[in-house]
Structure 1
């Protein structure tokens, strides 16, 4: 009788994929790992979405902006506070003070997970980038009140992440090559 070798392929998940499988098991990040840049990235992704998969993709868009010096901005803080880029941080936005006041010790549901995701994306190798480096824009159809899409999205096709993500196109669409 011939023996058949069964090769079992081990699928290794990235740390973020592992964490997203069961985010309630995620231990808080040690405070010494949360620098100012991670804090600003976490504030941004937490303001845009409470869903971890979406937060990760948004974090990569923000990282892409920092790494490409989009609009002359070279820090996460400057990218997040860049006028007319992230609505929650615009003067007059009702929850602006709330998002600006979040600290590493804040105990808001989902906030510690956002800090973890922000730290992960900031320190992840480029090989885990789910889009090209020039994917620096996104919008949410649900947030568009007076028009179906931003002017910059006119005639452009959204890009899909390279890895498998469940993203509702009404919630988020991502774009590359926007100047």
Structure 2
């Protein structure tokens, strides 16, 4: 078992299987530039993840208490998981803070795959910790205009994602809550890329152009391949963009 998995297991092993309450949190928060349009359905995004997707059993071991139903492979495409009911429902994290809830809303709006959710969450955390664009809370970062496509002013999905509550019986949403909780509490040593990595985009979601204008000014960042298998057509990460 890797040191990272041991740490993750230890961080959640004492939690109880009860619905968490959301409490205000005054700590720092953050958001991110993204053009990906995520579906609000509970299927995985279209397309292959570019590598072995983690199983739900592995996800539970890393991010949540083990459950009798946490078994079987996580879906890698919409064809693999056409319905929400095909996935196991994880318990809601206990003592869930408001900042974690906003982070979960952001990563759930971007992707339904856990390893991608983790990377997106670290980008958001990087923005919070560097006060990018003057935003210092997760709520402020997520709602920063034209940073997360699902939360853009006028977006048809904005109201839905803003209203998502921890108790919503959606497996991929519950998964996002556990991923968000882990990333907010993880030691900086587990950051998958530098703290200057504060942008990403999805080539698959770009319309009429190959990449956003800011990508030409930043440095491309590839997450460590031994830890993350990311299809670059789905997500590309960038650092040192003002």
Structure 1 vs Structure 2 CA RMSD? 2.1
Match of 1:166 in 2: 229
Which runs of no fewer than 5 residues in structure 2 stay unpaired?
A: 10-53, 61-68, 71-88
CA contact 1:28–1:116 (8 Å) conserved in 2: no
Structure 1 unaligned blocks of 5 or more: 1-9
1:139-150 aligned within 5 A: 139-150=201-212
SS of the residue 2:3 aligns to: coil
Residue aligning to 1:177 = 240
Give 1:69 shift: 0.3
Displacement of 1:91:
1.6
Q: What does residue 66 of structure 1 align with?
A: 128
Does the CA-based 8 Å contact 2:218-2:240 persist in structure 1? Answer: no
Aligned to 1:122: 184
CA distance in 2, matches of 1:18, 1:109: 13
* TM-score for both structures, normalised by structure 2: 0.65
2:104 aligned residue:
42
Whether the aligned pair in 2 keeps the contact of 1:31 and 1:104 (CA below 8 Å) is: no
Distance in 2 (alpha carbons) for counterparts of 1:13 and 1:20: 16
Alpha-carbon distance, 1:164 to partner: 2.0
1:93 aligns with 155
* Higher normalized helix content (fraction of residues): 1
Moved runs in structure 1, 4+ residues, more than 6 A? 16-20
Tell which has more relative contact order, 1 or 2 (C-alpha 8 A, sep 6+): 2
- Structure 1 length as normaliser, TM-score? 0.86
Max radius of gyration: which structure?
1
Per-residue deviation, 1:139: 0.2
How far apart are 1:157 and its partner, in Å?
4.4
